[in-house]
A and B are shown apart, each in its own frame.
Chain A
């Protein structure tokens, strides 16, 4: 159930019972920002999470449908970075030729995200902005030090993923993600224990960044240097979520196991 309507009880809405809203279809990023500046407005693209939240009782006066903004679907090679439009679907990341050439490890890792239905409709931006504990897009982007590029009414704002920096105040539109490309950078990702824990490792030189998903309310990151006991990375993190879905001790232990395994020669490292 996604809603606790009143003290009287729970109500489960179907799509037909979501709160009414005004739908705006902007023709440009500028129009999108303008529409989103209205009170109680939200962007919508793939709609997977937003509609789910609306079924749970969340209400928006205005939905700004940005799915038609083709400039946010472009992947471009910027030399030392690959820029992926925020509206790029998981499927397009999984199959994109440029991504295959420039960031093959990321493409391989992204292939494990979501089921086929979600991969077709869900977008890169939606995965990041949904802020769901079980969503792993930000785990990967965080360890890679990706730049989340927002456009606001006052210009571009960049947030480095994985630093814990706050996202810009709305209205701000995530338009693209710039991912650094480096010949000596390796990436590995293990989602085999999802929904209990997922671990991404990005190694550059003698330093590795470890990102952890599912085990906390939002992704957590830490670094480890060559020569350190990789399993000890577990101790770098706070207490994990402890519930019947997965115990804190197990989640924590698995962070070390999976990270050590990947650093010892896992795929992509």
Chain B
């Protein structure tokens, strides 16, 4: 903030979240709570085979079962555009010709009770012709690998800007490639040292406590669907395409969401619920079990080859890389994740040349999609691990090497891009100082590691709209399409509005999202809300305020410059004029509402690789201290220090919650078993066997430091937050392990067995 800015009253305060009471008292309404008289329950029959041709399916007996009102098999898809996806429309509502992973939907039943639906599903007869499977990236790319799609599904490659490109089907089971190149390809030749490393990234599940769930009903010919969904407007558009249905006759409503972490984008339960509702003409609820969540969406496992050229003095020169993402059985958001993983692989460092490819490889496993960090987690793991490898090889301290090469504040990330909006060195020094990095005693089983997590934030070419309504008595409604998914955005946005209108926070309401009247938003993702949506909210608020001020000035026969808005009164000199009286005097006793509309979207810019410049950059600085048990390989995390930069924290408590939550989520991928596959069979896909960090797993030395560097592009200087602090965790720990025992681990998760194997390898002659 500049020195003349007025003091803030609401922004910057750590108010209790506006959703705290309903959520902690059990009165908050989630989609799982939505119910209607006569509502049916949907259950799904899922493929027991990882790859098979569907030769016959007979649901006759199921249709005759008690309580059954509708059954879906491929026969009910006629007349629809029955496949969905982001760039590539390859995932069917239920299997059409093949099943492509264990858990693929084959049929669905809507019955009066879930038990009746299950009993009906048990009557369905399916004949499969089992096909060879590919369960991992490398086997799926082999020349002899069976193809998941013999024919190319419908899809697009979006337009890219300077240096970036996309392509489809460049190899067997390769559904998409993103590439980015800049600078002189001969740059490696001038380097004193070139490092080539291969890193493996494991696969987490989002583990959101509210499952994938929707409730659909037909209201006349209007499709009315309640959904636990992060992007209701794109969902509406996709549903309109799938069902050949007018968009204005599809209504998506989103109550509170019980977390998503990226998983709840686009179609999940909705097409089945809607189709069953259309067939039965009854409301249908489709609520997955936790086990079904595991069979619906996951993070991308990845192989990352990274080649980096540096000068003898440590100056970074060139980096090339090839990433292969395990997309699972359907493309889902893989092309988008590929864009981001590839684009983020360089990290926030000064390079003269970059040449990155990221391929999406289909395998017979759970489809992979958006996951907090969105490719940045994979990229940071490889990039930040290799920087330590380079530092140790050059005899340099990893901290110093990073400080030497980090981008400067305001320096463009790559040609055509916006400048980074944090002081990277300040952030890194902060966590290094806090953990005691410079005084560390390396070796003897104990060590420290650093990492700089990095991602572009705010989405790509992302538009957002908002509307403000202010009632006669000063009640404020903020309508915007950002969903409250646990991140506290309802509170933060309301604080912005309250600040701008000089009103107390409790006068701002945040109505639940309904696509019939909520202004458009592209989705709640990419840590975008506090910048992209917040700019639209700011504009809407200021426009509404301007109308109020002009109205008041007219009533008081003065200029707008002579008056101030003060908690729904107009202050003119030492006079206070309550607005309700003025409003009713002019508009009548029934009152009036002032409104304001806001819009924000970055400009199209062909010089920017992703066609628009990044709105905000998100960083997570991390430092870890570990103690490694050389006999078991167990890594004991003694300290974990993370820090994000909020620019200006709209609500410091909310920001802290985001930083700490994302850091702990980063622990899952680093130190916990993750999703374990035995070939195409998921071994631990349930709540009992899948381990995520508990409160008791958090080390005593866990510290998060919220920075407010003041360089953010959003309202009051806010910038993106919420994903950054998970990005550095795995690599900081791996770097600490090497500092402790001199062994480099290149594969996640850092399980005791894997660490011990690496110790054994290092000790073997």
Contacts and interface: CB of A to CB of B under 8 A. Distances in A.
B632 A17 contact: no
B662 to A, nearest CB: 21
Interface in B48-99: 48
Interface residues of B, number: 46
Interface in A232-269: 243-247, 250, 254, 257-258, 261
Contacts of B288: 12
A9 B752 CA distance: 36
B704 to A, nearest CB: 23
The dominant DSSP class at the A interface is: loop
Interface in A55-82: 55
Interface in A89-132: 115-116
A10 B41 contact: no
Contacts of B585: none
B118 A17 contact: yes
A18 interface: yes
Interface stretch (A22-30, A32-40, A189-197, A215-223): A189-197
A12 B46 contact: yes
Contact of A195 (B47, B631, B685, B689): B689
B753 A10 contact: no
A12 B689 CA distance: 16
A243 B121 CA distance: 32
Nearest to A192: B634
A226 interface: no
Contact of B678 (A8, A134, A195, A244): A244
B48 A7 contact: yes
Contact of B753 (A55, A192, A196, A258): A196
Contacts of B752: 193, 196, 250
Interface residues of A, number: 37
A31 to B, nearest CB: 29
Given A52-B688, A244-B676, A10 B683 contact: no
B287 A14 contact: yes
A243 B685 CA distance: 15
A10 B122 CA distance: 9
Contacts of B45: 5, 8-11
A11 B121 contact: yes
Contacts of B676: 244-245
A4 B48 contact: yes
Of A4, A8, A17, A196, chain B has the most CB atoms within 10 Å of the CB of A8
B113 A16 contact: yes
Interface stretch (B193-201, B234-242, B289-297, B740-748): B289-297
A243 B683 contact: yes
Given A193-B632, A243-B678, 7 more contacts: A1-B291, A1-B685, A7-B48, A11-B45, A17-B113, A52-B688, A250-B752
29 contacts: A1-B292, A1-B295, A2-B291, A6-B122, A7-B48, A9-B124, A10-B45, A10-B48, A10-B102, A10-B103, A11-B121, A11-B122, A12-B289, A13-B43, A13-B289, A16-B41, A17-B117, A17-B118, A18-B115, A52-B688, A116-B694, A193-B632, A193-B752, A243-B678, A243-B683, A244-B683, A250-B757, A254-B632, A258-B632
> What 10 A-B pairs are tightest by C-beta distance, nearest first?
A17-B114, A8-B126, A9-B45, A10-B46, A16-B114, A12-B289, A250-B753, A17-B118, A17-B115, A12-B291
Interface of A: 1-2, 4-14, 16-20, 52, 55, 115-116, 134, 192-193, 195-196, 243-247, 250, 254, 257-258, 261
